[in-house]
Amino acid sequence: MTGTTIKNDHYYMQLAIQEALKAEAIGEVPIGAVLVHEGEVIASSFNLRETLETTASHAEMIVIDQGNQHFNSWRLEDCTLYVTLEPCPMCAGAIVQSRIKRVVFGALDPKAGCAGSLMNLLQDDRFNHQVEVTSGVEEEVCGALLQNFFKQLREKKKREKQARQSEKQAELENKMTDRQVIPFPVTKQDDHSSDQS
């Protein structure tokens, strides 16, 4: 790999990171992607699965669709896809099917990655197309984006749970206060009444 290719990989990955930040800004998992053909960015997007409520709304799937529209073709030969997280099985399959030449990704995905972590669908020689793969470009930045996002999400859920528990406790205390038995007033009998004869 030449020095120019490495420099370009970092440049385009930084563009993908900018896309990931857009996802984070709207509460989506911060994953971004750009599709490059002959040095030109022809598609860019970010994860929109929660926003669109559609399974296939991963960043890679969206840029593949944009690339298809750009070329008016399902074939994306001679394109390089840059993505901040290792592609999942769905995206890896679409990458192979679209004949993308090369994939460059940032952070590994040990739970769903199919470009080397769990398996390598992109370079399986049983398929009729294999993809060049470069991993670890801007890995620390890409990984930190995801780690920080999920850390904040866990903290938010923890705060919400604590708030719900506090509300329940307050409701319980209010019910207990409402149910307190007010003692019936006892009147003292006249001391002389017992002396009557």
Binding annotation? 58, 88, 91
Measured distance between the N- and C-terminal CA atoms of the chain, rounded to whole angstroms = 121
- Choice among 19, 24, 28, 60 that is catalytic: 60
Distance CA 124, CA 109 (A): 18
Distance of CA 127 to the CA centre of its chain: 29
60 in catalytic set:
yes
How many helices (H) does the chain have, and how many strands (E)? 5, 5
Contact 49, 29 (CB under 8 A): yes
Backbone angles phi, psi at 194, to 5 degrees: -80, -15
Distance CA 67, CA 44 (A): 9
| 157 membership: H or E segment, kind and range | helix 139-178
Q: Binding site for Zn(2+), residues?
A: 58, 88, 91
* Strand positions, DSSP E, the chain: 32-37, 40-46, 79-85, 102-107, 132-134
Name the one residue in this structure whose structure tokens are 């969206």.
62
Beta strands at 32-37 and 40-46: parallel, antiparallel or unpaired: antiparallel
Active site residues: 60
